[in-house]
Structure 1
Amino acid sequence: MLSALRSRFDVAGWTTREDPRSVRWDAVGLLLLGLFLLVVDVQTVGADQPLVDVPAGPRPWQALLLLVATSVLLAKRRRPVVVLVVVAGLALADAGLGGSLGMYLVLFDALFTVAVRAAARARAVVLGVLVGLVVAVPVATAAAGAAARDVVQLTLVAVALLLPPWWWGADVRRSLELAGEQSRRADAERARADLARAHADDVARIAALDRERAVQDERARMARDLHDVVAGHLSAVAIHAEAALAGPPQEARDRAALAAARAGSLDALAEMRSMILVLRQGADVDAATAPAGLARVADLDVDVVGDVPGGLPAAVDQAAFRILQEAATNARKHGTGRASVRCTVDGDALDLVVENALPADAATVDPALTSSTGLQTMRERATALGGRVDAGPRAGTWRVHARLPLRAGSVPR
């Protein structure tokens, strides 16, 4: 009974917080309450007079039955059906002694515990027995020749005594099942949220790996470009030196060959110094390709506006071509149609502008679908030379603007 009252005020936490101490306190509380009701002679359950005569009167025997019943309640959590059967037998014996309200409260608690804790099959059997008892009361009283008023009264008493604890326990059980379902749903939502966060982390890691791979590939290309430039100058030095050594000594010719070799060596050193700034440790330089400068801009799928400047420092020339390659790809991603390219020398800097029209229904590219490696490699190329790259929509077009200094140390405007 006390367990039922506690569960009514806190359904969600009742079963999780109940422990053996609370069960013991329930038993002690029902025992004390039942003894108090016996002392004050509160008898509203059972016959008006004892059905059997016992020595010393029914009170001591009823107190003993109450003590046994409350002791049996200590096992109600482990064996709810067995406890109910034993308490029901003790309640019948108590009813033969005249009945006590304390014993009924113990029976109430046992019924409630079965409704909450027992398995589905056991609950169905107990409920069938209760319904059978309620139906048997009017049948038996009518067969005994009782008046209709007495039949109705006894039937209502049977319903009031047997069915409320069961209804109460069933309601608590449904509330607990609902709370458990809500808890499982909350756990599932948390699991889905954790999975979504893990997926987002995986996407971010993949994008970071893509960017790192693109940067490493770009550095490898830059290393190959350095190899091509320096190899060309050193080849020229070797040719001039060989020409000077091939014939008999001639001061004019030899001095011209030495001057050409010196100029080639200085050019190689200058190009090496400028390009070594854009290299990083770990680039793979096991392959060499043909030099890629602005002279090859016609190989790109773009429309060239104006003339392409020549005579640029090798580092700037090759960085400009690589930037144009990435810019053309970037333009195709964001714009529509062929991109236009304009290359101009403005003072001490080279300006590269790539533009193409944006589609009428242009939409923002989902960040989860692109790693932005193109813009990053372009900016790294330009920053290594002291320049800059800007990209974005402008007046209905997608525009990439790169500005590269022609001399080391000059800052582009």
Structure 2
Amino acid sequence: MEKAEIGLIGLGTMGSNLALNIAEHGHRIAVFNRTRARTDAFVENSGALRDMVVPCYSLEELAAAIRPPRPLIIMVLAGKPVDEQIEALRGVLSDNDIVIDAGNANFRDTMRRFSELSGSGLTFIGMGVSGGEEGARHGPSIMVGGTEDSWKRVEKVLTAISAKFKDEPCAAWLGTDGAGHFVKTIHNGIEYADMQMIAEIYGILRDGLGVIEAQQLGIPATAIEAAVAARVLSSIKDERQAAEKAYGNIGVTRISGDKDALLKDLELALFAGKIAAYAQGFAVMSGASKEFNWNLPMPTIAKIWRAGCIIRSQMLDTMAEAFSGGASTNLLMAPAFISLMQEAHPSLRRVVARASEAGAPVPALSSALAYFDSYRQGRGTSNLIQAQRDFFGAHGFERIGEQGAFHGPWGSGAAG
């Protein structure tokens, strides 16, 4: 039998769908799962792709089934199982083989594994995969961290199976060691903020205006309700119920006024909140890029998020253009986003204010507004914090336009 071009370990939901995606794009794949029955079931259900799949029932058989140098994807639970799998593979793989961790790894673990395998003959890639089950099967967004040489060796397969945006593959090499998994982590953070803000807008529609009204106006309640379902998974439900009893269930006050105007404000508020979330995410990535010497390509990141991943949006095209045009590390300073936020932030302010008056919790939207207001304030309030630190601990403070550290005339009230 013809040898496989690539291998995959772990035939759970994501692994199975990724394997089928690879096979469907014409790349023969060898698969292995710790449980033999799952491997058999996968092969049985692979349908017309059966001839592109090579089932293996031991790591030795898996290694023998892949054409050297072997790229091998690991799709197992993050953490210790990945380390155990890598250790087991060291006994069966050869020099120049590539181990690709495609799970939701902590980027620091990826950096450690990259370092540990350095000099071993094996190459390590940390690969962020976004898009869930559907993305894995039909085209995810793929974020790769590792050596550029190792990326080039698997680029053909990964770009083939990735999502496409106007025929551009949503897969890219982003930097060394943990770069790919770090970018995936920021993606997930933006996704979480995005869902939370959608849920907050839903809460205002449901409790402040009536959700039936929202449905009559054609608002996509199904997607919003899915976001709310994710938020329901709270570990402190008992505490919230106890607090409700303690303070009384006063509910949310119905919001009156021009509903058309409010609905427009809700739309723009969500837009402004999303911009703030993206700005924070890209700012964090920029900081990490400097810290870890990754040289993360911000325009490329924006581009590979345009399809396949959870947070894909039309704004990402504008973000890619902004970074390509030399935007600063913060999107809020890009000319295109300055004009967008100038239009949208008054609505965000009104929505947060109305929600607060009505008793509707909007923590993510409130945070986005506070971040925007703090960012655009040339002189903040940390000068008072410096003064307090000097008063209580004699830490000193700096003065505008003067060099050196100073102490205030606190007298005997200051701590020693």
Return the TM-score normalized by structure 2.
0.19
- Greater share of helix: 1
The structure with the larger Rg is: 1
Return the TM-score normalized by structure 1.
0.19
